[in-house]
A and B are shown apart, each in its own frame.
Chain A
Amino acid sequence: MDRASQRNDFILMAVFALAVLTAPVWLAPIGAAYPDLLQKIAIFGIFAVGFNILFGLTGYLSFGHAAFLGVGSYTAVWSFKLLSMNILPAIVLAILVAGLFSLATGYVSLRRTGIYFSILTLAFAQMSYNLAYSVLTPVTNGETGLKVTRGDPHVLDRLFGVTVGDSLPTPELFGLRTIGWEGFYICAVALIVAFFVALRITRSPFGLALRGIRSNQTRMSFTGFNTRPHTLAAFVISGMFAGLAGALLAVTDPLAGAERMQWTASGEVVLMTILGGAGTLVGPILGAGIIKYFENIFSSFNEHTLEQTFSFLPEPVRDAAVSVASLFVGEGWHLTLGVLFMLVVIFLPGGIMEGFRRIGRAVSGRSAARRADKLQPAE
């Protein structure tokens, strides 16, 4: 039993890594194979995988995780400005600072559970958002956003004799640029590492304890577990994942703005996780992929493209079809997302992953299921 499950995890990891690295190939037919979109999917995949460690395993629904994403971005840009244009120190610092920030937020918010916990995290995130626009302007550069400028010290770069040319320096990884396909592959490697860490955590005693907390917190405490440090650790870990995602956003585009911390951004990661399947490993990444894909594809449709799509129809029908469909594309793509989200939550409460499981069960057939039932107790 356990050896089989370990082998399955190994296969899962291998298939996952392969799928991520070859995404530019197999996503080409649906028009998603361009680096800007793919790296966004990878980054928000990391964000959602981390969020799922908190929400999927412990059941604590945070509505403030975008704050950690924003903190990660700001830290990374400051690291570019002060230390080095190399992305490694930026990523490490972003993870650490986001971890510290989530430690403080989690310490306070986790005193409550359920809706009160969610409200506390939301309040924290909104507070950060508003502070970034007001008193923290010296750190965040307010509405303009924080970016790398020509006069920045780059202490480490100078120390190691890396010369900054006349042009505005761009982030790099030991000479490798971080935009275009290189940018995607940096994010892809980060996503694979993040996924591996999440897999290890899920399968560990700590992960089992987190699932116990989600299932029945009362029983956990009467069973000898101090639940608070567990939930706090899960909160900090997911905050660090968010910090990594935030850093990667800055890596691929060295500009940090406070809009990343807005509550809609916090809500988006909740949507991603639930859409894909909370508590599953792959689900959150699927959710992130679908939402980012829709955002890019549907929002770029306009009336002209719609008219072309429906050009086979006779004119009056075409006009009607275009005016109905235009509600769902362009600015209105959120409507598509909303409808999709409602359909999933109503018909597949376990997200898209539950849909896959149902299909899998239907395919494997009844007789096989019965055989499996008979075999299982013997294990």
Chain B
Amino acid sequence: MQQPNIVLHVDDVHKSFGGLHALSDIDLQVVEGRTHAIIGPNGAGKSTLLNLCVGRLRPDRGAVVFDGQVLTGRKPYEINQLGVSRVFQTPEIFPDLTVHENVVIPALAKRDGAFAVDAWWSMAHERDLRDRAEAAVVDVGLGDKLRHEAGSLSRGDKRRLELAMCLVQTPRLLLLDEPTAGMSRLDTNRTIDLLKRIKERGMTKVIIEHDMHVVFSLADRVTVMAQGRVIAEGTPDEVRGDPLVQEAYLGGGHA
């Protein structure tokens, strides 16, 4: 069998805020094409870990390596240009642009790079870009809201819009911070279906999630964090059976 290709490697990362050790000795390897879930109670350091990956924070020690390139010290836009897109816990969208424009912008960034200098050519001529954006919007099930102002969408729709904004860039690595938080059961299931379809396209994903239903329907591998440390890692079934995990997170026999 071929050696699995490590896309994301979090290498011995430490981060503290004041006296608080938010992350210590974090080692994480994400294999290409897999869906890697990170679970853990509130304050375990999951979002901090994602913030280190996308350049929002710098680790005190250690490094994050994506596809052979060190991400640590790079700016968020550089990291995105390397092929890493992120869905935030509270949707980061362009509230006063239309749904369509929201998705055209990331497609533009992917095509033209970090600085879109073209100030003369009309967007109306960018048929290819607009079609691709529209397809991504339809893909997440917002096709009927293409011309709506993004700020007027429901919370669940905003999350799906943000997902479309990431998907249109066909990133090599997609980071999802609680993509179904605050969604109805119906919307959650639709999102799970969507994420399963993405998986068939071979996109690598790291997903932070509280909803065990989501984790166990999507993840190939699960890392459990508590108090800034990795306390377990394995397949979903292994993790589910781990007594340490049940103690720390699932609340003892809950699963």
Seen from chain A, the residues whose Cβ lies within 8 Å of a Cβ on chain B are 2-3, 5-6, 9, 200-201, 203-209, 211-212, 214-216, 218-227, 229-230, 233, 237, 376-377, 379
Contacts and interface: CB of A to CB of B under 8 A. Distances in A.
Given A221-B76, A222-B92, A377-B144, A208 B124 contact: no
B105 A221 contact: no
Interface of B: 54, 75-77, 80-81, 85-86, 88, 92-97, 101, 104-106, 108-110, 112-127, 130, 143-147, 165, 169
Given A2-B130, A219-B93, A230-B115, A208 B104 contact: yes
A223 B147 contact: no
Given A215-B95, A216-B92, A225-B77, A203 B124 contact: yes
Nearest to A229: B115
Contacts of A6: 122, 124
Contacts of B105: 208-209, 212, 220, 223, 225
A9 B124 CA distance: 11
B120 A208 contact: no
A223 B118 contact: no
A326 B103 CA distance: 55
A215 B97 CA distance: 7
A223 B165 CA distance: 8
Given A211-B97, A219-B92, 17 more contacts: A2-B130, A5-B124, A9-B122, A201-B120, A206-B116, A208-B123, A211-B94, A220-B105, A221-B80, A222-B86, A223-B85, A223-B105, A224-B110, A225-B114, A225-B115, A226-B77, A233-B119
Contacts of A200: 119-120, 122
A204 B119 contact: yes
6 contacts: A201-B119, A201-B120, A204-B118, A205-B108, A205-B112, A233-B119
A3 B121 CA distance: 14
Contacts of A226: 75, 77, 114-115
A293 to B, nearest CB: 31
B245 to A, nearest CB: 31
A220 B93 CA distance: 9
Contacts of B143: 377
A257 B95 CA distance: 43
Nearest to A3: B124
A255 to B, nearest CB: 34
Nearest to B110: A224
B114 A205 contact: no
A223 B106 contact: yes
B116 A225 contact: yes
A205 B121 contact: yes
A221 B75 contact: yes
Contact of B94 (A215, A237, A376, A377): A215
Nearest to B109: A224
Nearest to B106: A223
Contacts of A227: 77
B124 A224 contact: no
Nearest to B115: A229
A162 to B, nearest CB: 36
A209 B115 CA distance: 9
Nearest to B107: A223
A220 B124 CA distance: 21
B19 to A, nearest CB: 28
Given A222-B86, A377-B143, A377-B146, A206 B119 contact: yes
Contacts of A219: 92-94, 165
Contact of A206 (B118, B144, B147): B118
A377 B99 CA distance: 12
Contacts of B130: 2
A193 to B, nearest CB: 14
A224 to B, nearest CB: 4
Contact of A212 (B75, B94, B122): B94
A223 to B, nearest CB: 5
A301 B124 CA distance: 49
B203 to A, nearest CB: 16
A243 B105 CA distance: 31
Contacts of A376: 146-147
A158 to B, nearest CB: 38
B146 A224 contact: no
B58 to A, nearest CB: 15
B123 A215 contact: no
Nearest to B166: A223
A212 B97 contact: yes
Q: List the 7 closest A-B pairs by CB distance, nearest first.
A: A224-B109, A224-B80, A215-B94, A2-B124, A206-B119, A226-B114, A219-B92
Nearest to A7: B124
A240 to B, nearest CB: 12
